[in-house]
Amino acid sequence: MRDRNVFGIRAALPRMSWSPANLYNLWRRSTVKSKETVFTRTDATLFQQRWIAKRLTRAYHGDYIPEKIFKRWYLPAMLPDVRPRRKLGDDKESLAKFAQQYDKAEAEKRAREEEERQALAPVGSLMWTEVERRIDVFIFRCCFAHSVYEARRLVIHGRVLLNGRRHQNTNTRLAPGDMVSVDPSAIRFLQGKPWRPYRSRMSDPQDDEVFREPALLEEAVADSSDSGEPVASAGDAVDSHDQPASSSPSAESSQDDASTTPHQPSSSQPQSSSSSPSPSYTPFTLPPYAAPFIFIPPYIEVSFQTCSAILLRYPTARHGYSEVPTPYDADGEIMRLTWEWYGRHRSRMRSRSQVARMPDNRLERRVIPGEKERPRHLDKASL
């Protein structure tokens, strides 16, 4: 289980959260605490280096998953070992330049660049693919929740639909093609402005409150209709609020003419304002310091208009790039040592009773809804 103080400053462990404290811990881990992860200049043993790397990565990737369950169910069964780095002391290019053999040095440089270009992908980061498939992590990656803990709460409270049906199991691992929908009324940054610490100095606070809350806006419309004054729509109200009071002398003259001319109601315009539609909108306010965490991975297709998302495929990796979001280098020493730790300590054998207790793992099925699944092999009678 995860610790109680997940945003502790002394530990400075990055988490899946948009919290300002988490951003501060991420900054500390990249500046002040970065000396702990420079394993080329440390007195720690190899076991201690692997344990430190495992502690950092597990704090971000599924810290609420028990270690025993993580090693048994969330580690990939088949994943190639991470490739070794360039050997230290391989100075053929420098020696060729020292001997004034510039042609040989240029050939060594081209060979090294070609080797790096055809190098293997950072496969060490793909060990977190099963964690990224979890429905709570998927909701957090879609930016529907400000933390993975909030995403778990949405799933447990029944505010999430999986393929159109309510789903309350946070351990479910999605398959490509699954659609997840979140109730918009449960998303916190769509419920007014609880996180906004500042207010515009150029606007009137009373008008700001009216334009912000739909209930206050409806009350203002009702009061104006009772007094007999003409009612403007929400868009007209916002436009008139942004424009100055008197922009030109012609506007003043038109206002004077309108004040002297008596109002004559026309038959084409409705007499009551009850027939006009009430203005409605969806407020959107992000928590402070949330900009560094707002991104969508390429294997997810999100529709913010319907608060739905689809898992297109599993995360992949190529040379110099990994689709698994992580605060650490996808091909760095931390990821390599973490893979070495779990390569020696993970559980490889699973009995039938253990498979029966496995978390919900949805498999990819390329079947069109409503169509019968065709048999894999043709019958002899049909041949």
Q: For the ranges 246-255, 357-366, 367-376, which has the lowest average pLDDT?
A: 246-255
Q: Which two tokens stand for residue 33?
A: 């605490």
Residue 368 lies in a domain: no
Q: For the ranges 116-130, 231-245, 282-296, which has the lowest average pLDDT?
A: 231-245
pLDDT digits (tens, 9 = 90+) for 311-330: 999 999 888 889 999 999 98
Residue 215 lies in a domain: yes
pTM, two decimals, is 0.67
Q: Which two tokens stand for residue 91?
A: 């100075």
Residue 32 lies in a domain: no
**Residue 372, beta-bridge partner list:** none
How many helices (H) and strands (E) the chain has is answered by: 14, 7
Residue 39 lies in a domain: no
Q: What is the pLDDT of residue 61?
A: 95
Residue 88 lies in a domain: no
* 61 contacts: CB under 8 Å, gap ≥ 6: 128, 131, 326
Residue 346 has pLDDT above 70, yes or no: no
List of long-range contacts for 362-366, beta carbons under 8 Å, 24+ apart: 362/172, 362/173, 362/174, 362/175, 362/178, 363/175, 364/175, 364/176, 364/177, 365/175
Q: What is the pLDDT of residue 276?
A: 46
First to last CA, the chain: 58
Q: What is the pLDDT of residue 25?
A: 93
User: What angle (nearest 5°) sits at the alpha carbon of residue 202, between those of residues 197 and 205?
Assistant: 60
pLDDT digits (tens, 9 = 90+) for 151-180: 999 999 999 999 999 999 999 999 999 999
Instruction: Give φ, ψ of 231 to 5 degrees.
Output: -105, 130
Residue 335 has pLDDT above 70, yes or no: yes
Residue 214 lies in a domain: yes
Instruction: Give φ, ψ of 76 to 5 degrees.
Output: -65, 140
Q: What is the pLDDT of residue 137?
A: 96
Residue 223 lies in a domain: yes
pLDDT band at 367 (very low <50, low <70, confident <90, very high): low
Residue 196 has pLDDT above 50, yes or no: no
pLDDT band at 347 (very low <50, low <70, confident <90, very high): low
pLDDT band at 90 (very low <50, low <70, confident <90, very high): low
The stretch 47-68 carries a mean pLDDT of 93
Q: What is the pLDDT of residue 111?
A: 76
Domain count of the fold of the chain? 1
The stretch 211-221 carries a mean pLDDT of 46
Q: What is the pLDDT of residue 295?
A: 94
Residue 228 lies in a domain: yes
The stretch 94-120 carries a mean pLDDT of 71
pLDDT band at 344 (very low <50, low <70, confident <90, very high): confident
Parent domain of 209: 197-234+275-284
Q: What is the pLDDT of residue 219?
A: 52
What letter does residue 147 receive in the DSSP assignment?
B
The stretch 260-285 carries a mean pLDDT of 53
pLDDT band at 3 (very low <50, low <70, confident <90, very high): low
Average pLDDT, the chain: 74
pLDDT digits (tens, 9 = 90+) for 281-309: 778 888 889 999 999 999 999 999 999 99
Q: What is the pLDDT of residue 253?
A: 47
pLDDT band at 280 (very low <50, low <70, confident <90, very high): low
Q: What is the percentage of the chain residues whose pLDDT exceeds 70?
A: 62
pLDDT band at 266 (very low <50, low <70, confident <90, very high): very low
